[in-house]
Amino acid sequence: MIEQAGQELSESQRMILEDGMVSRAEMEGAYQDAVDCLEESGYVEVFFERESDRVYTIQGSSGAPEPGESETEQEARIDLGWDSCLGEYVGSVGDAWLRQTELSEEEKLVAAAALNDCIRPFGVEISGADVEGLRPLIEKLIELEGGAEAADQDALVLNRCYDEFLLVAGGSPSVAGSE
Protein backbone atom coordinates (compact mmCIF):
# COMPACT_ATOMS: atom_id res chain seq x y z
CA MET A 1 0.00 0.00 0.00
CA ILE A 2 1.36 3.41 -0.95
CA GLU A 3 0.90 5.96 1.82
CA GLN A 4 1.12 9.74 2.08
CA ALA A 5 2.08 11.07 5.53
CA GLY A 6 0.58 7.98 7.17
CA GLN A 7 -2.64 8.14 5.15
CA GLU A 8 -3.63 5.95 2.23
CA LEU A 9 -3.26 7.69 -1.13
CA SER A 10 -6.24 8.46 -3.32
CA GLU A 11 -6.84 6.11 -6.24
CA SER A 12 -5.72 8.75 -8.77
CA GLN A 13 -2.37 9.29 -7.03
CA ARG A 14 -1.86 5.56 -6.53
CA MET A 15 -2.35 4.95 -10.28
CA ILE A 16 0.14 7.68 -11.21
CA LEU A 17 2.77 6.54 -8.71
CA GLU A 18 2.50 2.77 -9.21
CA ASP A 19 5.21 2.70 -11.91
CA GLY A 20 7.56 4.85 -9.83
CA MET A 21 7.71 7.71 -12.35
CA VAL A 22 5.58 10.81 -12.93
CA SER A 23 5.35 12.04 -16.52
CA ARG A 24 4.67 15.68 -17.37
CA ALA A 25 1.25 14.61 -18.72
CA GLU A 26 0.46 12.85 -15.42
CA MET A 27 1.63 15.89 -13.43
CA GLU A 28 -0.50 18.24 -15.48
CA GLY A 29 -3.44 15.81 -15.30
CA ALA A 30 -3.18 15.77 -11.50
CA TYR A 31 -3.22 19.57 -11.43
CA GLN A 32 -6.22 19.69 -13.77
CA ASP A 33 -8.07 17.21 -11.54
CA ALA A 34 -7.31 19.48 -8.56
CA VAL A 35 -8.62 22.50 -10.51
CA ASP A 36 -11.84 20.61 -11.33
CA CYS A 37 -12.22 19.63 -7.67
CA LEU A 38 -11.66 23.22 -6.53
CA GLU A 39 -14.30 24.47 -8.93
CA GLU A 40 -16.73 21.87 -7.55
CA SER A 41 -15.97 23.11 -4.02
CA GLY A 42 -16.85 26.70 -4.88
CA TYR A 43 -13.69 28.27 -6.25
CA VAL A 44 -14.07 30.40 -9.38
CA GLU A 45 -11.63 31.31 -12.13
CA VAL A 46 -9.36 28.45 -11.10
CA PHE A 47 -6.43 27.46 -13.28
CA PHE A 48 -2.99 25.93 -13.01
CA GLU A 49 0.06 27.12 -14.82
CA ARG A 50 3.54 25.84 -15.42
CA GLU A 51 5.86 28.39 -13.82
CA SER A 52 9.04 26.63 -14.93
CA ASP A 53 10.16 23.27 -16.20
CA ARG A 54 9.56 21.85 -12.71
CA VAL A 55 7.17 24.13 -10.84
CA TYR A 56 3.38 24.39 -11.22
CA THR A 57 0.99 26.67 -9.35
CA ILE A 58 -2.78 26.82 -8.93
CA GLN A 59 -4.58 30.13 -8.73
CA GLY A 60 -8.20 31.02 -8.25
CA SER A 61 -10.71 32.99 -6.27
CA SER A 62 -12.92 31.75 -3.47
CA GLY A 63 -15.83 33.75 -4.82
CA ALA A 64 -18.60 35.21 -2.69
CA PRO A 65 -19.91 33.57 0.48
CA GLU A 66 -22.89 31.28 0.03
CA PRO A 67 -26.24 32.71 1.21
CA GLY A 68 -26.28 32.87 5.02
CA GLU A 69 -22.60 31.92 5.27
CA SER A 70 -20.41 34.01 7.57
CA GLU A 71 -16.94 35.10 6.52
CA THR A 72 -15.42 32.64 9.02
CA GLU A 73 -17.57 29.80 7.70
CA GLN A 74 -16.63 30.67 4.12
CA GLU A 75 -12.94 30.73 5.01
CA ALA A 76 -13.20 27.32 6.71
CA ARG A 77 -15.09 25.85 3.71
CA ILE A 78 -12.58 27.25 1.24
CA ASP A 79 -9.57 26.08 3.27
CA LEU A 80 -11.07 22.60 3.54
CA GLY A 81 -11.71 22.51 -0.21
CA TRP A 82 -8.18 23.66 -1.00
CA ASP A 83 -6.52 21.17 1.35
CA SER A 84 -8.81 18.34 0.28
CA CYS A 85 -8.45 18.86 -3.48
CA LEU A 86 -4.69 19.36 -3.48
CA GLY A 87 -4.22 16.50 -1.04
CA GLU A 88 -6.33 14.14 -3.11
CA TYR A 89 -4.86 14.89 -6.52
CA VAL A 90 -1.46 16.57 -6.24
CA GLY A 91 0.23 15.90 -2.86
CA SER A 92 2.51 12.89 -3.31
CA VAL A 93 2.49 13.16 -7.10
CA GLY A 94 3.92 16.69 -6.84
CA ASP A 95 6.51 15.55 -4.31
CA ALA A 96 7.59 12.69 -6.60
CA TRP A 97 7.73 15.08 -9.58
CA LEU A 98 10.04 17.49 -7.73
CA ARG A 99 12.30 14.64 -6.58
CA GLN A 100 12.61 13.11 -10.04
CA THR A 101 13.24 16.46 -11.76
CA GLU A 102 15.67 17.75 -9.13
CA LEU A 103 18.55 19.77 -10.51
CA SER A 104 22.06 18.37 -10.58
CA GLU A 105 24.59 19.91 -8.21
CA GLU A 106 26.10 21.82 -11.14
CA GLU A 107 22.69 23.22 -12.12
CA LYS A 108 22.05 24.25 -8.51
CA LEU A 109 25.38 26.11 -8.43
CA VAL A 110 24.48 27.97 -11.64
CA ALA A 111 21.09 28.94 -10.17
CA ALA A 112 22.72 30.05 -6.91
CA ALA A 113 25.25 32.18 -8.85
CA ALA A 114 22.40 33.89 -10.72
CA LEU A 115 20.65 34.54 -7.41
CA ASN A 116 23.87 36.04 -6.00
CA ASP A 117 24.13 38.37 -8.99
CA CYS A 118 20.60 39.57 -8.29
CA ILE A 119 20.96 40.10 -4.52
CA ARG A 120 24.56 41.32 -4.26
CA PRO A 121 23.58 45.00 -4.81
CA PHE A 122 21.64 44.75 -1.52
CA GLY A 123 24.70 43.62 0.45
CA VAL A 124 23.60 39.99 0.60
CA GLU A 125 25.52 37.00 -0.65
CA ILE A 126 24.56 33.34 -0.38
CA SER A 127 27.00 30.45 -0.23
CA GLY A 128 24.87 27.75 -1.85
CA ALA A 129 21.45 26.50 -2.84
CA ASP A 130 20.75 24.60 0.37
CA VAL A 131 19.14 25.91 3.57
CA GLU A 132 22.42 27.00 5.15
CA GLY A 133 23.64 28.62 1.95
CA LEU A 134 20.40 30.59 1.58
CA ARG A 135 20.29 31.65 5.23
CA PRO A 136 21.82 35.15 4.66
CA LEU A 137 19.03 35.98 2.19
CA ILE A 138 16.32 34.62 4.47
CA GLU A 139 17.72 36.62 7.41
CA LYS A 140 17.83 39.81 5.31
CA LEU A 141 14.20 39.31 4.22
CA ILE A 142 13.15 38.81 7.85
CA GLU A 143 15.09 41.94 8.85
CA LEU A 144 13.32 44.00 6.15
CA GLU A 145 9.87 42.66 7.03
CA GLY A 146 7.57 45.46 8.16
CA GLY A 147 10.21 48.13 7.64
CA ALA A 148 10.04 51.58 6.12
CA GLU A 149 9.01 52.12 2.50
CA ALA A 150 12.62 51.85 1.24
CA ALA A 151 13.02 48.57 3.13
CA ASP A 152 9.75 47.34 1.63
CA GLN A 153 11.08 48.11 -1.87
CA ASP A 154 14.32 46.24 -1.11
CA ALA A 155 12.32 43.30 0.23
CA LEU A 156 10.17 43.31 -2.90
CA VAL A 157 13.22 43.12 -5.18
CA LEU A 158 14.95 40.50 -3.01
CA ASN A 159 11.77 38.40 -3.01
CA ARG A 160 11.61 38.64 -6.82
CA CYS A 161 15.22 37.42 -7.01
CA TYR A 162 14.41 34.54 -4.67
CA ASP A 163 11.23 33.67 -6.60
CA GLU A 164 13.23 33.50 -9.84
CA PHE A 165 15.69 31.16 -8.14
CA LEU A 166 12.85 28.94 -6.89
CA LEU A 167 11.35 28.72 -10.36
CA VAL A 168 14.62 27.22 -11.56
CA ALA A 169 15.54 25.24 -8.47
CA GLY A 170 11.95 24.18 -7.76
CA GLY A 171 10.55 24.14 -4.27
CA SER A 172 11.54 26.07 -1.22
CA PRO A 173 14.05 24.69 1.29
CA SER A 174 12.88 24.49 4.87
CA VAL A 175 14.10 27.45 6.87
CA ALA A 176 12.77 26.31 10.23
CA GLY A 177 16.04 25.03 11.64
CA SER A 178 18.77 23.21 9.83
CA GLU A 179 18.31 20.20 7.64
Residue 120 CB neighbours (<10 A): 12
Domain boundaries, the chain: 3-100, 105-169
pTM for this entry: 0.70
Residues 6+ apart with CB under 8 A from 92: 2, 4, 9, 13, 17
Digit-by-digit pLDDT tens for the chain (179 residues) are: 344 444 578 999 999 999 999 999 999 999 999 999 999 888 889 999 998 888 888 998 887 888 998 888 888 888 888 889 999 999 999 999 988 988 888 888 898 999 999 999 999 999 988 888 899 999 998 888 877 777 788 888 999 898 888 877 765 443 333 33
